Amino acid sequence: MIPLKTIEELIEKHSSLEKDLSSGEIDKKLFAEKSKEYSDINEIIDIAKEYITFEDDKKELEKILEDQTSDNELKKMAETELTDLSSQHEINEKKLKLFLLPKDEADKKNAIIEIRAGTGGLEASLFASDLFKMYEKVSHKKKWTLELISISRSDAGGLKEVIASIKGRNIYSTLKYESGVHRVQRVPDTETQGRVHTSAATVAVLPEAEEVDLKINDSDLRIDVFRAGGPGGQSVNTTDSAVRITHIPTGLSVSQQDEKSQHKNKAKGMKILRARLYELERSRIDQERSKDRKTKIGTGDRSERIRTYNFPQGRVTDHRINLTIHKLEEFLEGVAFDEMIESLTLQAQEESLSNLK
């Protein structure tokens, strides 16, 4: 049960914002902030008003049912209406609880996705490539913009490592549950006896941090330049264009050599470093907040096996929510991807709601 005072305050806030925005007396920056807040509350305001009037509406219908002078047809209508009203009230309460949950500020940010081949040799690199193609297809379907930051190919034509930024609407909230170990079970092309091999790739999804999200002091950075070439380098350069940036306080290090310009490599490296530092700080805060909470989803543990892609059986299974989708090919094409994400999001919301009790 949500306290009525909480809902009344939400309705009052909506009314107050409406007055402020129509007054024409607030500056541009504040106008943008209040417009965003008003837009968010506007999505739930009708449900909030229904929630407030529920008890009065319920009492009116109960009066009809208790009134000895009411005819049977009227009572039957009131009974049906009361059942529908109670059912809708439960739905409204759940929607309001979800709305009132603490917001993850990173949900609406763009994301940086990092995919690395894990155990399984060349087959793991091919699987890493398959995963990257899947995220490319998902991005295309959702009209997101995917930009390659760095790529390192394997001898088999797969990927040892790939890092990309994805820009669009609510990217991080959609992809954040993809972080972890993805495992594949299939017969490699090189396998002559038809044996199923298991290999893995690691996916890390980080919210893309802006300079305003965290301050990085120049004195905390050590920047080394070197000549690009070898694994990961697109070519052997004759100038020191490759950059390695080390954040001294944390020891985090990023190397970037895909561009021929040292300046561009540094900019890309800083983008990755900023995202990793931002995520490190978020993880520290989340751990402090959730010491006593048990959750299956969104732990951020990249060593956790989260999903298995089984080719012989044509299925993909997410181990956190025990969901199996028997559409492996469609999933890798990005077609059945939303089904998995929606289930993960719903489960995460349920866990958050249970933690409120």
Instruction: Collect contacts of 44-50 with beta carbons under 8 A, ≥24 apart.
Output: 44/10, 44/95, 44/96, 44/99, 45/10, 45/11, 45/14, 47/92, 47/95, 47/96, 48/7, 48/10, 48/11, 48/14, 48/96, 49/11, 50/88, 50/89, 50/92
All domains of the chain in start order, with CATH: 4-100 (no CATH), 107-210+298-356 (3.30.70.1660), 218-288 (3.30.160.20)
CB 306 within 8 A of CB 319: yes
Distance CA 146, CA 344 (A): 23
- Across the beta sheet with 111-117, the strand order is 145-153, 159-167, 111-117, 197-207, 180-186, 305-310, 315-318, 323-325
Closest CA to 166 of 125, 115, 215, 126: 115
Closest CA to 133 of 306, 304, 331, 315: 331
Give the pTM.
0.71
Structure confidence at residue 288 (pLDDT): 63
Structure confidence at residue 317 (pLDDT): 97
CB 243 within 8 A of CB 256: yes
The Cβ of residue 168 has, within 10 Å, a number of other Cβ atoms equal to: 14
Tell me which residue has tokens 């893309």. 208
CB 297 within 8 A of CB 344: yes
345 class by beta-carbon count within 10 Å (0-12 exposed, 13-18 middle, 19+ buried): middle
Structure confidence at residue 239 (pLDDT): 64
pLDDT mean by block of 10 residues, the chain; 357 residues: 90 94 86 88 94 95 88 92 95 88 83 94 94 97 94 90 93 93 90 85 92 83 81 51 91 88 90 90 71 52 84 96 95 94 88 70
2 class by beta-carbon count within 10 Å (0-12 exposed, 13-18 middle, 19+ buried): middle
